Amino acid sequence: MSLKVARRAFIATAALAVGSAAFLTHGPARAQEQEIIFAISAATGSLQQVTAAEFTARANEKLAGKAVVKLFADSQLGKDKDLMQKMKLGSVHLSMPSSIMPEVAPEFALFDLPFLVKDRAHVAAIEKEVFWPQIAPKAEAKGYKVLGVWENGVRHITNNVRPINTPADLEGLKIRTPKSEWRVKMFGSWGANPTPMSFSEVFVALQTGVIDGQENPYTNIWSAKLNEVQKYLSVTGHVYSPSYLTAGAAAFEKLPADVQAVLQETAIEMESFAREKGAADDESLRSKLAESGMEVNVADRAAFVEASKPIYALFAEQVEGGQQLIDASLALAD
């Protein structure tokens, strides 16, 4: 090799080494700043996952390369409790918890009160007048920032023993609930044997008879194929469950201001999408579940409302300002 060629080879090798060192020093940090990890436990095909996917697409279009939101569904990065911790640590930037939020702040259990919500217009009013001024700040004080109030859905009961018409029909049945203190209290007061477990474990638990039934919105029942392992669908509409687009407050504040603005703007924009899609699913999925072979009955709402009064009294007693939250929310119903 000539001296000239050798010299060129040396310069090229040195340049590559310098470039590699620069990538190792700055590349990953830059990529990490631009990558927004959005992890959820919801199953693919559920309203929560569909809403999350639509948010991801809209946010990425607006971000236009300034950052990229990457969505991981189906508990790929952990179940709800894991994801709450990861948001605190900053390894996950966004998630959409639902029934677990009363563990962050007890005021979130307002939405666990049975038959509190009249309809989705009522939800929107509660969000504006009660949730943002009185409940969202409680989460922020615990290190979480709620960006939007989306939808999990209106919950109904399924089981393999008998139709549920009144609370008395729940007597002794093992009903899976989320790991929610208030949902457990509710079903216990109705006479059931509430059995908290992660949603990802429910199908097998029903299939093997570990539990008799569960309660969820139609969209979760359908997407998880619970109709394949459940005989009875009882239309109770006992709880409306929001789903909250949530960030770890510290990690969110580290994002560039323009990226924060896009995420916040898109989160609010998606609220109407989630509720409209939820309403459409309520109509279509109930029919599909019936057509799949489930026996459908409409429960006696008045009997359940009467049996639920002690839960309201307990919330008012145990949650600071609980009665005021109840009164303010009920007053917003048309």
- Confidence label for 299 from pLDDT (cuts 50, 70 and 90): very high
Which helix or strand (DSSP H or E) is residue 220 part of?
Answer: helix 218-223
Which of 26-40, 94-108, 129-143, 167-181 has the lowest average pLDDT? 26-40
pLDDT at residue 8, rounded to an integer: 41
**Residue-range domain boundaries for the chain:** 3-330
pLDDT on residue 26: 36
pLDDT of residue 140: 97
pTM of the prediction?
A: 0.87
The pLDDT of residue 334: 80
The model's pLDDT over 232-280, given as tens digits with 9 standing for 90+, comes to 999 999 999 999 999 999 999 999 999 999 999 999 999 999 999 999 9
Mean pLDDT of 155-160: 98
| Structure confidence by residue, pLDDT tens digits, 165-202 | 999 999 999 999 998 899 999 999 999 999 999 999 99
pLDDT of residue 166: 98
Whole-number pLDDT of residue 31: 43
Concatenated DSSP letters for 285-325? HHHHHHHTT-EEEE--HHHHHHHTHHHHHHHHHHSTTHHHH
Q: Which CATH architecture has domain 3-330?
A: 3-Layer(aba) Sandwich (3.40)
> Could you give the CA distance from residue 132 to residue 136 in angstroms, rounded to a whole number?
5
Backbone angles phi, psi at 119, to 5 degrees: -160, -175
Cβ-contact 78, 87 below 8 angstroms: no
Averaged pLDDT for residues 48-67: 97
Q: Give the rounded percent of residues in the chain with a pLDDT score beyond 90.
A: 88
**Strands 144-159 vs 213-217: parallel, antiparallel or unpaired:** antiparallel
Does the structure show a pLDDT above 70 at 3?
no
What is the rounded average pLDDT of the residues 219-229? Answer: 97
Give 6's pLDDT tier (boundaries 50, 70, 90).
Answer: very low
| Residue predicted with more confidence, 103 or 25 | 103
**Alpha-carbon span 74 to 43, nearest angstrom:** 5
Whole-number Å distance between alpha carbons of 151 and 276: 10
User: What is the residue-wise DSSP string for 116-128?
Assistant: ---SHHHHHHHII
pLDDT of residue 1: 44
**Contact, 46 vs 223, CB < 8 A?**
yes
pLDDT digits (tens, 9 = 90+) for 8-53: 443 333 333 333 333 333 344 444 447 999 999 999 999 999 999 9
Per-residue pLDDT, 127? 98
Supply φ then ψ for residue 217, to 5 degrees: -65, 160
The pLDDT confidence band at residue 164, using thresholds 50, 70 and 90, is very high
Q: What is the pLDDT of residue 34?
A: 78
Stretch 304-320: mean pLDDT: 97
The per-residue pLDDT of the chain, averaged, comes to 91
